Structure 1
Protein backbone atom coordinates (compact mmCIF):
# COMPACT_ATOMS: atom_id res chain seq x y z
CA UNK A 1 0.00 0.00 0.00
CA UNK A 2 1.14 3.54 -0.75
CA UNK A 3 -0.42 6.71 0.66
CA UNK A 4 -1.24 9.68 -1.55
CA UNK A 5 -0.28 12.91 0.24
CA UNK A 6 -1.81 16.02 -1.35
CA UNK A 7 0.48 19.05 -1.52
CA UNK A 8 -0.64 22.61 -0.79
CA UNK A 9 1.87 25.33 -1.65
CA UNK A 10 0.74 28.46 0.18
CA UNK A 11 1.73 32.01 -0.71
CA UNK A 12 -0.07 35.11 0.51
CA UNK A 13 -2.75 32.95 2.10
CA UNK A 14 -3.65 31.29 -1.21
CA UNK A 15 -2.89 27.92 -2.78
CA UNK A 16 -0.49 28.45 -5.67
CA UNK A 17 0.61 26.27 -8.58
CA UNK A 18 4.23 25.29 -8.11
CA UNK A 19 6.33 24.67 -11.21
CA UNK A 20 9.94 23.45 -11.25
CA UNK A 21 10.91 25.22 -8.02
CA UNK A 22 10.75 28.73 -9.53
CA UNK A 23 8.99 30.23 -6.51
CA UNK A 24 8.99 33.81 -7.76
CA UNK A 25 6.86 32.67 -10.71
CA UNK A 26 4.17 30.78 -8.77
CA UNK A 27 0.60 31.95 -9.46
CA UNK A 28 -2.68 31.31 -7.58
CA UNK A 29 -4.13 27.92 -8.45
CA UNK A 30 -6.77 27.88 -11.19
CA UNK A 31 -8.94 25.15 -12.65
CA UNK A 32 -8.77 22.65 -9.79
CA UNK A 33 -11.46 19.99 -9.57
CA UNK A 34 -11.37 20.45 -5.79
CA UNK A 35 -12.52 24.08 -5.55
CA UNK A 36 -13.40 27.01 -7.81
CA UNK A 37 -10.91 29.34 -6.10
CA UNK A 38 -7.48 28.95 -4.46
CA UNK A 39 -8.84 29.01 -0.92
CA UNK A 40 -6.90 26.60 1.35
CA UNK A 41 -9.92 25.87 3.55
CA UNK A 42 -12.09 24.91 0.58
CA UNK A 43 -9.40 22.68 -0.88
CA UNK A 44 -8.63 21.03 2.47
CA UNK A 45 -12.34 20.36 3.01
CA UNK A 46 -12.63 18.74 -0.43
CA UNK A 47 -9.60 16.56 0.29
CA UNK A 48 -11.09 15.53 3.63
CA UNK A 49 -14.35 14.56 1.92
CA UNK A 50 -12.38 12.41 -0.55
CA UNK A 51 -10.82 10.48 2.34
CA UNK A 52 -7.28 11.87 2.38
CA UNK A 53 -5.71 11.77 5.85
CA UNK A 54 -2.28 13.40 5.44
CA UNK A 55 -1.35 16.64 3.68
CA UNK A 56 1.94 18.35 2.93
CA UNK A 57 1.84 22.12 3.35
CA UNK A 58 4.68 24.32 2.14
CA UNK A 59 4.50 27.81 3.65
CA UNK A 60 6.36 29.59 0.87
CA UNK A 61 6.27 32.97 2.61
CA UNK A 62 7.91 31.47 5.70
CA UNK A 63 10.44 29.63 3.53
CA UNK A 64 11.38 32.88 1.79
CA UNK A 65 11.40 34.85 5.05
CA UNK A 66 8.66 37.26 4.11
CA UNK A 67 5.53 36.16 5.95
CA UNK A 68 3.67 33.40 7.70
CA UNK A 69 0.80 31.08 6.78
CA UNK A 70 0.73 29.04 9.99
CA UNK A 71 -3.06 29.50 10.14
CA UNK A 72 -3.38 27.13 7.17
CA UNK A 73 -1.34 24.48 8.98
CA UNK A 74 -3.55 24.98 12.04
CA UNK A 75 -6.71 24.67 9.93
CA UNK A 76 -5.51 21.40 8.42
CA UNK A 77 -4.78 19.97 11.86
CA UNK A 78 -8.19 21.06 13.19
CA UNK A 79 -9.86 19.34 10.23
CA UNK A 80 -8.17 16.14 11.39
CA UNK A 81 -5.30 15.85 8.94
CA UNK A 82 -1.82 14.76 9.83
CA UNK A 83 0.33 17.55 8.47
CA UNK A 84 3.83 17.52 7.02
CA UNK A 85 4.71 21.21 7.24
CA UNK A 86 7.61 22.95 5.52
CA UNK A 87 8.20 26.38 7.08
CA UNK A 88 11.84 26.71 6.11
CA UNK A 89 14.77 26.56 8.49
CA UNK A 90 12.52 27.80 11.31
CA UNK A 91 11.12 24.27 11.47
CA UNK A 92 14.30 23.18 13.27
CA UNK A 93 13.25 25.21 16.31
CA UNK A 94 9.69 23.85 16.33
CA UNK A 95 8.76 20.59 18.02
CA UNK A 96 6.70 18.01 16.18
CA UNK A 97 3.26 17.24 17.63
CA UNK A 98 0.81 14.37 17.19
CA UNK A 99 -0.74 16.25 14.26
CA UNK A 100 2.11 18.29 12.77
CA UNK A 101 5.60 17.17 11.76
CA UNK A 102 7.95 19.85 10.46
CA UNK A 103 9.86 18.98 7.31
CA UNK A 104 13.48 20.12 7.31
CA UNK A 105 14.76 20.56 3.78
CA UNK A 106 18.39 20.12 2.84
CA UNK A 107 18.22 23.44 0.96
CA UNK A 108 18.14 25.16 4.38
CA UNK A 109 21.10 23.20 5.78
CA UNK A 110 24.86 23.43 5.39
CA UNK A 111 26.63 20.28 4.22
CA UNK A 112 28.18 18.35 5.84
CA UNK A 113 28.28 20.20 9.19
CA UNK A 114 24.53 20.28 9.90
CA UNK A 115 23.39 16.81 8.85
CA UNK A 116 23.50 15.71 12.50
CA UNK A 117 20.83 18.31 13.40
CA UNK A 118 18.29 16.23 11.48
CA UNK A 119 18.26 13.22 13.82
CA UNK A 120 14.69 12.17 14.61
CA UNK A 121 13.15 14.66 12.19
CA UNK A 122 11.34 14.45 8.88
CA UNK A 123 14.00 15.38 6.33
CA UNK A 124 13.52 16.39 2.72
CA UNK A 125 16.26 15.67 0.22
CA UNK A 126 15.72 18.70 -1.99
CA UNK A 127 16.96 17.60 -5.38
CA UNK A 128 17.46 19.00 -8.83
CA UNK A 129 17.94 16.03 -11.10
CA UNK A 130 20.48 13.76 -9.39
CA UNK A 131 21.94 16.51 -7.19
CA UNK A 132 20.98 17.27 -3.59
CA UNK A 133 20.69 21.00 -2.85
CA UNK A 134 22.17 22.47 0.33
CA UNK A 135 22.41 26.10 1.45
CA UNK A 136 26.15 26.13 0.76
CA UNK A 137 26.58 23.63 -2.08
CA UNK A 138 24.98 20.99 -4.28
CA UNK A 139 26.25 17.42 -4.46
CA UNK A 140 25.37 14.32 -6.44
CA UNK A 141 23.25 11.99 -4.33
CA UNK A 142 25.86 9.21 -4.37
CA UNK A 143 28.37 11.62 -2.79
CA UNK A 144 26.21 12.35 0.27
CA UNK A 145 24.27 9.14 0.85
CA UNK A 146 26.83 7.70 3.30
CA UNK A 147 26.37 10.72 5.60
CA UNK A 148 22.58 10.45 5.47
CA UNK A 149 22.16 6.71 5.87
CA UNK A 150 23.97 6.90 9.23
CA UNK A 151 21.27 9.21 10.63
CA UNK A 152 17.98 7.93 12.04
CA UNK A 153 15.18 9.99 10.48
CA UNK A 154 11.45 9.92 11.19
CA UNK A 155 10.68 10.03 7.45
CA UNK A 156 12.70 10.83 4.34
CA UNK A 157 11.14 12.88 1.57
CA UNK A 158 12.75 13.01 -1.86
CA UNK A 159 11.51 16.02 -3.81
CA UNK A 160 12.86 16.65 -7.30
CA UNK A 161 12.26 20.39 -7.65
CA UNK A 162 13.02 20.28 -11.36
CA UNK A 163 9.99 18.00 -11.87
CA UNK A 164 7.48 19.65 -9.50
CA UNK A 165 4.30 20.66 -11.33
CA UNK A 166 5.59 19.44 -14.70
CA UNK A 167 3.93 16.03 -14.97
CA UNK A 168 7.19 14.76 -16.45
CA UNK A 169 7.36 11.54 -14.42
CA UNK A 170 9.37 10.59 -11.35
CA UNK A 171 13.15 10.15 -11.19
CA UNK A 172 13.24 6.35 -11.21
CA UNK A 173 17.03 6.02 -11.17
CA UNK A 174 17.42 8.04 -7.96
CA UNK A 175 14.38 6.56 -6.22
CA UNK A 176 15.34 2.94 -6.88
CA UNK A 177 18.67 3.60 -5.14
CA UNK A 178 17.38 5.60 -2.17
CA UNK A 179 14.61 3.16 -1.27
CA UNK A 180 17.32 0.62 -0.35
CA UNK A 181 18.70 2.92 2.35
CA UNK A 182 15.41 4.13 3.88
CA UNK A 183 13.04 1.13 3.85
CA UNK A 184 9.56 1.96 5.11
CA UNK A 185 10.37 5.67 5.37
CA UNK A 186 10.64 7.03 1.82
CA UNK A 187 8.11 9.55 0.47
CA UNK A 188 8.56 10.85 -3.08
CA UNK A 189 7.43 14.03 -4.80
CA UNK A 190 7.95 15.79 -8.10
CA UNK A 191 6.65 14.91 -11.56
CA UNK A 192 3.94 12.36 -10.69
CA UNK A 193 1.74 11.99 -13.78
CA UNK A 194 -0.88 9.55 -12.61
CA UNK A 195 -1.63 6.06 -11.38
CA UNK A 196 1.18 4.46 -13.38
CA UNK A 197 3.81 6.42 -11.48
CA UNK A 198 2.04 5.71 -8.19
CA UNK A 199 2.02 1.96 -8.88
CA UNK A 200 5.71 2.01 -9.78
CA UNK A 201 6.58 3.79 -6.53
CA UNK A 202 4.45 1.37 -4.51
CA UNK A 203 6.05 -1.64 -6.14
CA UNK A 204 9.63 -0.49 -5.41
CA UNK A 205 8.82 0.09 -1.72
CA UNK A 206 8.01 3.80 -1.44
CA UNK A 207 5.43 4.40 1.34
CA UNK A 208 4.02 7.77 0.30
CA UNK A 209 3.81 10.05 -2.70
CA UNK A 210 3.43 13.83 -2.72
CA UNK A 211 0.95 14.93 -5.38
CA UNK A 212 -0.50 18.30 -6.38
CA UNK A 213 -1.08 18.74 -10.12
CA UNK A 214 -2.47 15.23 -10.75
CA UNK A 215 -4.98 15.70 -7.91
CA UNK A 216 -6.11 19.14 -9.09
CA UNK A 217 -6.61 17.71 -12.60
CA UNK A 218 -8.70 14.85 -11.21
CA UNK A 219 -6.24 12.21 -12.44
CA UNK A 220 -5.64 10.91 -8.90
CA UNK A 221 -8.61 10.88 -6.51
CA UNK A 222 -7.90 8.01 -4.11
CA UNK A 223 -6.01 8.34 -0.81
CA UNK A 224 -4.30 4.94 -1.04
CA UNK A 225 -3.26 2.52 -3.79
Structure 2
Protein backbone atom coordinates (compact mmCIF):
# COMPACT_ATOMS: atom_id res chain seq x y z
CA UNK A 1 0.00 0.00 0.00
CA UNK A 2 1.17 3.51 -0.77
CA UNK A 3 0.87 6.06 2.04
CA UNK A 4 0.35 9.62 0.81
CA UNK A 5 0.83 12.48 3.30
CA UNK A 6 -1.71 15.27 2.92
CA UNK A 7 -1.61 19.04 3.06
CA UNK A 8 -4.83 21.05 2.94
CA UNK A 9 -4.31 24.72 2.09
CA UNK A 10 -6.64 27.54 3.06
CA UNK A 11 -5.48 31.13 2.53
CA UNK A 12 -1.91 29.89 2.18
CA UNK A 13 -1.92 28.06 5.52
CA UNK A 14 -1.87 24.36 6.36
CA UNK A 15 -5.23 23.45 7.90
CA UNK A 16 -7.62 20.58 8.43
CA UNK A 17 -11.38 20.83 8.26
CA UNK A 18 -13.82 18.81 10.37
CA UNK A 19 -16.25 16.90 8.13
CA UNK A 20 -15.58 19.39 5.33
CA UNK A 21 -16.78 22.43 7.29
CA UNK A 22 -14.81 25.55 6.43
CA UNK A 23 -15.85 27.24 9.65
CA UNK A 24 -14.19 24.39 11.57
CA UNK A 25 -10.64 24.79 10.29
CA UNK A 26 -7.64 24.15 12.52
CA UNK A 27 -4.39 25.88 11.47
CA UNK A 28 -1.28 23.68 11.83
CA UNK A 29 1.36 25.76 10.06
CA UNK A 30 1.42 29.12 8.32
CA UNK A 31 4.15 27.95 5.91
CA UNK A 32 3.27 24.89 3.78
CA UNK A 33 6.88 24.34 2.75
CA UNK A 34 7.74 23.52 6.39
CA UNK A 35 5.31 20.59 6.43
CA UNK A 36 6.22 19.38 2.95
CA UNK A 37 9.90 19.40 3.94
CA UNK A 38 9.11 17.09 6.86
CA UNK A 39 7.43 14.66 4.48
CA UNK A 40 10.36 14.81 2.07
CA UNK A 41 12.94 14.24 4.83
CA UNK A 42 10.94 11.25 6.09
CA UNK A 43 11.30 9.62 2.68
CA UNK A 44 8.03 10.45 0.95
CA UNK A 45 8.40 11.55 -2.67
CA UNK A 46 4.71 12.09 -3.46
CA UNK A 47 2.17 14.13 -1.51
CA UNK A 48 -1.49 15.08 -1.70
CA UNK A 49 -2.39 18.77 -1.63
CA UNK A 50 -5.90 20.23 -1.66
CA UNK A 51 -6.58 23.88 -2.45
CA UNK A 52 -9.57 24.47 -0.18
CA UNK A 53 -10.03 28.01 -1.48
CA UNK A 54 -10.09 26.58 -4.99
CA UNK A 55 -12.69 23.95 -4.11
CA UNK A 56 -15.02 26.69 -2.93
CA UNK A 57 -14.13 29.56 -5.26
CA UNK A 58 -13.16 27.76 -8.48
CA UNK A 59 -9.74 29.40 -8.83
CA UNK A 60 -6.24 28.26 -7.86
CA UNK A 61 -5.62 30.52 -4.88
CA UNK A 62 -2.85 28.39 -3.37
CA UNK A 63 -1.02 27.35 -6.55
CA UNK A 64 2.07 29.52 -5.81
CA UNK A 65 2.62 27.57 -2.58
CA UNK A 66 2.23 24.25 -4.39
CA UNK A 67 4.69 25.28 -7.11
CA UNK A 68 7.21 26.31 -4.44
CA UNK A 69 6.96 22.87 -2.85
CA UNK A 70 7.51 21.12 -6.18
CA UNK A 71 10.44 23.30 -7.24
CA UNK A 72 12.17 23.49 -3.84
CA UNK A 73 11.81 19.84 -2.84
CA UNK A 74 11.67 18.02 -6.18
CA UNK A 75 8.73 15.86 -5.14
CA UNK A 76 5.60 14.97 -7.09
CA UNK A 77 2.24 16.38 -6.07
CA UNK A 78 -1.33 15.37 -6.79
CA UNK A 79 -3.77 18.21 -6.30
CA UNK A 80 -7.46 19.02 -6.27
CA UNK A 81 -9.65 22.04 -5.69
CA UNK A 82 -10.94 24.59 -8.18
CA UNK A 83 -10.71 22.44 -11.32
CA UNK A 84 -13.76 23.17 -13.44
CA UNK A 85 -12.76 22.65 -17.11
CA UNK A 86 -10.25 20.94 -19.39
CA UNK A 87 -8.17 24.12 -19.62
CA UNK A 88 -7.76 24.04 -15.82
CA UNK A 89 -6.35 20.51 -15.99
CA UNK A 90 -3.92 21.53 -18.73
CA UNK A 91 -2.90 24.62 -16.74
CA UNK A 92 -2.10 22.60 -13.61
CA UNK A 93 -0.19 19.90 -15.48
CA UNK A 94 1.81 22.60 -17.25
CA UNK A 95 2.51 24.13 -13.82
CA UNK A 96 4.25 20.93 -12.76
CA UNK A 97 1.57 18.89 -10.99
CA UNK A 98 1.95 15.14 -11.52
CA UNK A 99 -1.72 14.25 -11.11
CA UNK A 100 -4.97 16.19 -11.00
CA UNK A 101 -7.96 15.25 -8.84
CA UNK A 102 -11.39 16.22 -10.20
CA UNK A 103 -14.66 15.94 -8.32
CA UNK A 104 -16.94 18.91 -9.13
CA UNK A 105 -15.80 18.93 -12.77
CA UNK A 106 -16.69 15.25 -13.20
CA UNK A 107 -20.26 15.97 -12.13
CA UNK A 108 -20.92 19.50 -13.40
CA UNK A 109 -18.86 19.44 -16.60
CA UNK A 110 -18.75 15.80 -17.62
CA UNK A 111 -17.81 16.54 -21.22
CA UNK A 112 -14.56 18.26 -20.21
CA UNK A 113 -13.86 15.66 -17.52
CA UNK A 114 -14.12 12.83 -20.06
CA UNK A 115 -11.99 14.80 -22.52
CA UNK A 116 -9.32 15.20 -19.82
CA UNK A 117 -9.62 11.52 -18.93
CA UNK A 118 -8.96 10.51 -22.51
CA UNK A 119 -6.13 13.00 -23.06
CA UNK A 120 -4.32 12.55 -19.73
CA UNK A 121 -5.50 9.13 -18.59
CA UNK A 122 -2.53 8.32 -16.35
CA UNK A 123 -2.65 11.70 -14.62
CA UNK A 124 -6.36 11.96 -13.85
CA UNK A 125 -7.87 10.97 -10.50
CA UNK A 126 -11.60 10.98 -9.81
CA UNK A 127 -12.21 12.62 -6.45
CA UNK A 128 -15.22 10.67 -5.24
CA UNK A 129 -16.27 12.35 -2.01
CA UNK A 130 -19.26 10.63 -0.44
CA UNK A 131 -21.87 12.23 1.78
CA UNK A 132 -24.60 9.84 2.93
CA UNK A 133 -23.66 7.52 0.08
CA UNK A 134 -23.96 10.22 -2.61
CA UNK A 135 -21.14 11.92 -4.50
CA UNK A 136 -20.59 15.42 -3.09
CA UNK A 137 -19.01 18.30 -5.01
CA UNK A 138 -18.51 22.09 -4.97
CA UNK A 139 -16.57 21.97 -1.72
CA UNK A 140 -18.86 19.18 -0.48
CA UNK A 141 -21.79 21.60 -0.46
CA UNK A 142 -23.89 19.77 -3.10
CA UNK A 143 -24.61 16.11 -3.91
CA UNK A 144 -25.21 14.31 -7.21
CA UNK A 145 -28.34 12.27 -7.93
CA UNK A 146 -26.72 9.48 -9.95
CA UNK A 147 -25.97 6.24 -8.11
CA UNK A 148 -22.31 6.06 -7.11
CA UNK A 149 -21.66 2.58 -8.52
CA UNK A 150 -23.42 3.38 -11.80
CA UNK A 151 -21.36 6.55 -12.18
CA UNK A 152 -18.13 4.62 -11.56
CA UNK A 153 -19.07 2.00 -14.13
CA UNK A 154 -19.60 4.69 -16.75
CA UNK A 155 -16.30 6.38 -15.92
CA UNK A 156 -14.34 3.13 -16.10
CA UNK A 157 -15.79 2.62 -19.57
CA UNK A 158 -14.32 6.03 -20.44
CA UNK A 159 -10.87 4.99 -19.23
CA UNK A 160 -10.83 5.91 -15.54
CA UNK A 161 -7.94 4.23 -13.71
CA UNK A 162 -7.68 5.89 -10.30
CA UNK A 163 -10.20 6.97 -7.64
CA UNK A 164 -9.65 8.92 -4.45
CA UNK A 165 -12.61 8.09 -2.22
CA UNK A 166 -13.38 10.15 0.87
CA UNK A 167 -16.14 9.39 3.34
CA UNK A 168 -16.97 12.95 4.39
CA UNK A 169 -18.56 11.78 7.65
CA UNK A 170 -15.14 10.43 8.62
CA UNK A 171 -12.96 13.24 7.31
CA UNK A 172 -11.01 15.01 10.02
CA UNK A 173 -12.70 13.01 12.79
CA UNK A 174 -9.92 10.55 13.73
CA UNK A 175 -12.69 7.97 14.15
CA UNK A 176 -11.21 5.35 11.82
CA UNK A 177 -11.68 4.98 8.05
CA UNK A 178 -14.77 3.47 6.44
CA UNK A 179 -12.89 0.29 5.60
CA UNK A 180 -16.06 -1.59 4.64
CA UNK A 181 -16.79 1.04 1.97
CA UNK A 182 -13.32 0.70 0.46
CA UNK A 183 -13.49 -3.09 0.52
CA UNK A 184 -16.86 -3.03 -1.27
CA UNK A 185 -15.55 -0.61 -3.91
CA UNK A 186 -12.39 -2.66 -4.45
CA UNK A 187 -14.44 -5.84 -4.77
CA UNK A 188 -16.84 -4.26 -7.27
CA UNK A 189 -14.09 -2.53 -9.27
CA UNK A 190 -10.84 -4.53 -8.84
CA UNK A 191 -9.30 -2.89 -11.90
CA UNK A 192 -9.32 0.54 -10.27
CA UNK A 193 -6.47 1.94 -8.21
CA UNK A 194 -8.30 2.98 -5.03
CA UNK A 195 -7.00 5.67 -2.68
CA UNK A 196 -8.73 5.74 0.71
CA UNK A 197 -9.17 9.07 2.47
CA UNK A 198 -10.79 10.23 5.69
CA UNK A 199 -10.81 9.06 9.28
CA UNK A 200 -7.37 7.46 9.67
CA UNK A 201 -6.59 7.69 13.38
CA UNK A 202 -3.52 5.55 14.02
CA UNK A 203 -1.12 2.95 12.68
CA UNK A 204 -3.65 0.16 13.21
CA UNK A 205 -6.00 1.79 10.70
CA UNK A 206 -3.23 1.72 8.11
CA UNK A 207 -2.54 -1.93 8.84
CA UNK A 208 -6.23 -2.81 8.34
CA UNK A 209 -6.36 -0.95 5.02
CA UNK A 210 -3.15 -2.65 3.90
CA UNK A 211 -4.56 -6.07 4.82
CA UNK A 212 -7.71 -5.21 2.83
CA UNK A 213 -5.50 -4.70 -0.26
CA UNK A 214 -6.42 -1.04 -0.64
CA UNK A 215 -3.94 0.49 -3.08
CA UNK A 216 -3.18 3.73 -1.25
CA UNK A 217 -4.27 5.90 1.66
CA UNK A 218 -4.11 9.63 2.33
CA UNK A 219 -3.04 10.56 5.86
CA UNK A 220 -3.60 14.06 7.24
CA UNK A 221 -5.04 14.89 10.62
CA UNK A 222 -3.71 11.77 12.36
CA UNK A 223 -0.21 13.06 11.64
CA UNK A 224 -0.95 16.67 12.55
CA UNK A 225 -2.56 15.65 15.85
CA UNK A 226 0.36 13.32 16.68
CA UNK A 227 -1.69 10.11 16.54
CA UNK A 228 0.74 8.62 14.04
CA UNK A 229 4.37 9.34 13.27
CA UNK A 230 6.03 9.74 9.91
CA UNK A 231 8.11 6.67 10.76
CA UNK A 232 4.95 4.61 11.31
CA UNK A 233 3.49 5.90 8.05
CA UNK A 234 6.70 5.07 6.21
CA UNK A 235 6.83 1.55 7.67
CA UNK A 236 3.61 0.69 5.81
CA UNK A 237 4.52 2.58 2.63
CA UNK A 238 5.74 0.61 -0.37
TM-score range, shorter chain: 0.7 to 0.9
In 2, the alpha carbon distance for the partners of 1:173 and 1:147 equals: 23
Q: Decide whether aligned partners of structure 1 residues 154 and 145 sit closer, same or farther in structure 2, where only a CA change above 3 A counts.
A: closer
Equivalent positions of 1:56-205 (< 5 A) are: 56-65=48-57, 68-78=61-71, 79-90=73-84, 92-93=86-87, 94-95=89-90, 96=93, 99-105=97-103, 107-110=104-107, 114=111, 116-117=114-115, 119=117, 120=121, 121-134=124-137, 137-180=144-187, 181-183=189-191, 185-205=193-213
In 1, the alpha carbon distance for the partners of 2:22 and 2:159 equals: 30
| 3-state SS of 1:26 partner | strand
Q: CA RMSD in A?
A: 2.5
Instruction: Note the C-alpha offset of 1:187.
Output: 0.6
Counterpart of 1:52 in structure 2 is: 44
In 1, the alpha carbon distance for the partners of 2:85 and 2:206 equals: 29
Higher helix share: 2
TM-score (norm 2): 0.79
Q: Is the 8 Å Cα contact of residues 192 and 214 (structure 1) preserved in structure 2?
A: yes
Gaps of 5+ in 1: 30-36
Q: Is the 8 Å Cα contact of residues 85 and 105 (structure 2) preserved in structure 1?
A: no
Q: Decide whether aligned partners of structure 1 residues 157 and 5 sit closer, same or farther in structure 2, where only a CA change above 3 A counts.
A: same
TM-score (norm 1): 0.84
In 2, the alpha carbon distance for the partners of 1:38 and 1:51 equals: 23
Q: Decide whether aligned partners of structure 1 residues 91 and 84 sit closer, same or farther in structure 2, where only a CA change above 3 A counts.
A: farther
Gaps of 5+ in 2: none
2:38 equivalent to 1:42: no
In 2, the alpha carbon distance for the partners of 1:84 and 1:207 equals: 16
Q: Decide whether aligned partners of structure 1 residues 141 and 166 sit closer, same or farther in structure 2, where only a CA change above 3 A counts.
A: same
In 2, the alpha carbon distance for the partners of 1:102 and 1:113 equals: 15
In 2, the alpha carbon distance for the partners of 1:217 and 1:73 equals: 23
In 2, the alpha carbon distance for the partners of 1:91 and 1:100 equals: 17
In 2, the alpha carbon distance for the partners of 1:108 and 1:91 equals: 6
Q: Decide whether aligned partners of structure 1 residues 45 and 20 sit closer, same or farther in structure 2, where only a CA change above 3 A counts.
A: same
Instruction: Note the C-alpha offset of 1:89.
Output: 2.4
- CA displacement, residues 20-62 of structure 1 (integer Å, 9 cap, x when unaligned): 0112332322xxxxxxx43201111111111111111111112
